[in-house]
């Protein structure tokens, strides 16, 4: 296997809130490979967004801080780079799309200015060239009459159209990695499919680029991703190819997530849920992070955190009860 585009080693991102420490991300290691769509799935507060934001050091400090870890990208550890170098990676090599298209664009600047801005700051382009490129980018994401709409403000666009603008803006420098943090959560269902399709379409047209898709929606993962990380309590609990994960989920948490997807044939039956609530991020259990809600919990789960073990090629899981493959 070729060298991954991005390799994260033991990332720790903590938040300091009123004297307490929240270990939002505690020891995440992962790889983003060229050409893939990597899904990161988990509940709210599982640390999936913070993980992605940490890649390009977008954690607001204070209260957040990346305490430890390495993020290797093109032979450099992004966490150790000077700010000016990190800035050059942001938007140019790693682009990002956020959940809220309504608030993620600056309300007082035109769409055109905002879309061409990354070009102006990353490349030595004239305003006219950048303008033309921005028109093309907007056209490419399916904004009708793109040239005329360059001078419009965000409030003159619908939610779906704004998310298209966000995509155009994030991709205008042709980044190697696009991080999409719940890109369709705030949109209508019909629009969700369109925007997701647009993103994947743009992805397919570009060789060797990768998408990191953060979502809590397993259906989206199933349709779009090639590989999946399941996060819980600030840690990766399970990692597998998408087909493998859906056919053979191993971690009790992953199984719980799968069971809580409603199926048409189960109409009228009570939907399976994972009992309990996500534990407070300030007070995570010492052992397995899922032990407070796990249906098959054992005494040792409370005290001893299981390691992330590879149980089949490419399939890793963090659970005491899953029999490991002989070394």
Partner 1 sequence: MGAYFARRFLLMIPTFIGITFLVFTVTRFVPGGPIEQMILQIEMGGQAGEGGAGAAADATTGQGARIPPKVMAELEKRFGFDKPLPLAYLSWLGDVVTGDLGESYKYSIPVIRLVISKFPVSIYFGLIGFTLAYLVCVPLGVMKAIKHGSPFDIVSSFTVFIGYSIPGWALGTLLLVYFGGGTFLDWIPLGGFRSKNWAELSAGAKVLDQLHHTIAPILCYAIGSFATLTVLMKNSLMENLGQDYVRSAFAKGLPEKRVIFVHALRNSLIPVCTGLGHALGLIMAGSYLIEYTFNIDGLGYLGYTSVVERDYAVVMGVLVINTALVLFGNVMSDVLYVLVDPRIRFT
Name the residues that contact partner 1, by CB under 8 A: 56, 58, 60, 83, 87-92, 95-96, 98, 100, 103-109, 117-118, 121-122, 153, 155, 166, 169-170, 173
Residue number, 73 or 253, with CB nearest to partner 1: 73
Minimum CB separation of residue 124 from partner 1 in Å reads 14
Q: Which residue has the tokens 């980018």?
A: 137
Minimum CB separation of residue 198 from partner 1 in Å reads 18
Q: Which residue has the tokens 């666009």?
A: 157
Contact call for residues 94 and 57 (beta carbons, < 8 A): no
Residue number, 112 or 249, with CB nearest to partner 1: 112
| Alpha carbons within 13 A on the beta-carbon side of 302 | 4
Residue number, 88 or 275, with CB nearest to partner 1: 88
Minimum CB separation of residue 160 from partner 1 in Å reads 17
Residue number, 154 or 234, with CB nearest to partner 1: 154
**Across the chain, where does the E strand assignment appear?**
6-17, 20-32, 37-41, 64-73, 76-77, 94-97, 177-181, 210-215, 227-232, 235-241, 309-312, 315-317
3-state secondary structure of 29: strand
Contact call for residues 248 and 242 (beta carbons, < 8 A): no
Is 327 exposed, middle or buried (CB count within 10 Å of its CB: 0-12, 13-18, 19+)? exposed
Residue number, 84 or 247, with CB nearest to partner 1: 84
User: How far apart are the C-alpha atoms of 130 and 115, rounded to whole Å?
Assistant: 9
Minimum CB separation of residue 256 from partner 1 in Å reads 31
Q: Which residue has the tokens 């307490």?
A: 20
Contact call for residues 58 and 96 (beta carbons, < 8 A): yes
Minimum CB separation of residue 62 from partner 1 in Å reads 9
Residue number, 48 or 92, with CB nearest to partner 1: 92
Residue number, 66 or 245, with CB nearest to partner 1: 66
Minimum CB separation of residue 115 from partner 1 in Å reads 10
Minimum CB separation of residue 143 from partner 1 in Å reads 17
Contact call for residues 173 and 92 (beta carbons, < 8 A): yes
């Amino acid at each position: 296997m070729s060298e991954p585009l991005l390799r994260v080693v033991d990332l720790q991102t903590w938040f300091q809130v009123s004297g307490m420490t929240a270990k939002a991300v505690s020891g995440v290691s992962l790889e983003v490979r060229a050409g893939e769509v990597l899904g990161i799935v988990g509940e709210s507060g599982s640390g999936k967004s913070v993980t992605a934001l940490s890649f390009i050091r977008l954690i607001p400090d204070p209260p957040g801080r990346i305490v430890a870890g390495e993020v290797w990208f093109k032979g450099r550890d992004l966490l150790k780079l000077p700010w000016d170098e990190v800035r050059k990676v942001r938007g140019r090599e790693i682009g990002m799309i956020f959940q809220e298209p309504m608030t993620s664009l600056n309300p007082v600047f035109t769409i055109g200015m905002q879309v061409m801005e990354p070009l102006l700051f990353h490349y030595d382009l004239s305003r006219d060239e950048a303008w033309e490129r921005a028109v093309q980018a907007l056209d490419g994401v399916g904004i009708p009459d793109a040239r005329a709409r360059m001078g419009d403000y965000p409030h003159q666009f619908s939610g779906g159209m704004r998310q298209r603008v966000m995509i155009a803006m994030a991709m205008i420098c042709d980044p190697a990695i696009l991080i999409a943090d719940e890109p369709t959560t705030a949109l209508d269902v019909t629009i969700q499919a369109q925007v997701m399709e647009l993103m994947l379409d743009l992805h397919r047209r570009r060789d060797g680029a990768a998408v990191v898709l953060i979502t809590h929606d397993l259906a989206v993962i199933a349709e779009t991703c090639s590989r999946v990380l399941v996060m819980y309590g600030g840690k990766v609990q399970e990692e597998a190819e998408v087909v493998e994960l859906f056919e053979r989920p191993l971690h009790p948490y992953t199984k719980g997530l799968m069971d809580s997807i409603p199926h048409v044939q189960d109409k009228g039956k009570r939907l399976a849920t994972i009992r309990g609530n996500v534990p407070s991020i300030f007070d995570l259990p010492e052992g397995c992070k899922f032990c407070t809600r796990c249906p098959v919990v054992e005494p040792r789960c409370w005290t001893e955190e299981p390691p992330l073990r590879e149980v089949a090629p490419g399939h890793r899981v963090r659970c005491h009860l899953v029999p490991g493959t002989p070394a």
